[in-house]
Structure 1
Amino acid sequence: MQKQITKLNRLFAEICGWLLIVVMLLLTSDFISRGLSCPIVGVAESAVFAMVAVVFMGLGHCEEQKGHVRVEAVLVRLPAKVRGVFNLFCYLLGCFAIGATLYAVTGNAIEAFLEKEAIAGPTPLLTYPVKFVMVVSLVLYFIQLCLNAYAQARNLTK
C-alpha cells in the first residue's frame, strides 16, 4: 500500500509546485492590473484558494519524508527504545487529531456543496471545490500517518 500512497503523495507534491506558479501568476497579474487602475475581479481570492490547496496537498508528502517540525534536541537525548515509544505515541496522537479534523472538514465540505457556499463579491467563488481538495489531501495525510505509526510499531517489536 505504501507504494501507491507514495505515488499519490508525489503527484500531489508535483501539483503543489505547479499551483505555486499559478499563485505567482495570479498575484502578479493582480498587482499589474491594479497598477493600471483596472483590477481583475476575483484574482486575489483565486490565489488564496490555490494557496490553501498547496498547503493541504503537500501534507502527505511532507509526512512521508518526515519533514514536519519536531523537537530533535529532546528526542536525540532519549534512549532508542524510549524514543521509539514516544514516536509511536506521537503518530497515534496525530492519527487521532487528523482523523477528527478529517471528519469535521468532510462534513463542512459536504455542507458547502449542498448549500453552494460561495465567497461574496462581484463574482462569487464557490468554496466546495477547495474544501474537497482539503478532504482528499487529509485522507492521504491520515493514511500516511497510519502507515508511519504501523512501521514505528513494527520497529518496536523487533
Structure 2
Amino acid sequence: MTEAAPIHATTVARRGPDEAAWRAVMILGPSGAGKSDLALRLIGRGWRLVSDDYTRVWASGGSLYATAPQSIAGRIEARGVGIVSARTRWVARVVMAVACAPEAVERLPEPQTRRFAGVDLPLLALDPRPPSAVEMVAVALGTL
C-alpha cells in the first residue's frame, strides 16, 4: 500500500454499473474554484460525499482509494450557508479526477491523465459552474 499526503480535493462517489462497487471522482482546484459546489450538485443527484476540501488517498493492488481526514469526515462546506452534514461513503475507489477550470474548456481535448500515489487516473478538465457540469462528470465516468 502506497499512501500519499492529503490532496486538496473534494471526492464524491456513486455505485458502479454492477451496483456493488462504488466509484469515486476527485474534484481538484484551488479554494473558490467550485469543488464543493459541484460536489453538492452531484450529491443532490444521489452521489455520496467521501471528503470535502482535503482527501487522503492510497494505492493498493493498482487502484487508488480515498477517504476523508477524520476531522472533516461527513461534512461539506455550502458556501454562504456553512458546514453541513452529507450522506457519506467512508472509503471509495477513485477512478477519475476532475480539474476545475476557470473558463470554458476545449471542445474535443486529447485524453489526459494525472498520477496520484503512483496510480494514473483519467483527468477531465471542466468548468464546474454551468448546470451541465454534473452531467459532464456522469458522462465522462460512464466512458470508463
Same fold at TM > 0.5: no
Q: TM-score, normalised by structure 2?
A: 0.22
Q: TM-score, normalised by structure 1?
A: 0.20
* Greater relative CO (CA pairs within 8 A, separation 6+): 1
Q: Which structure features the higher share of helix residues?
A: 1
Q: Which structure features the higher share of strand residues?
A: 2
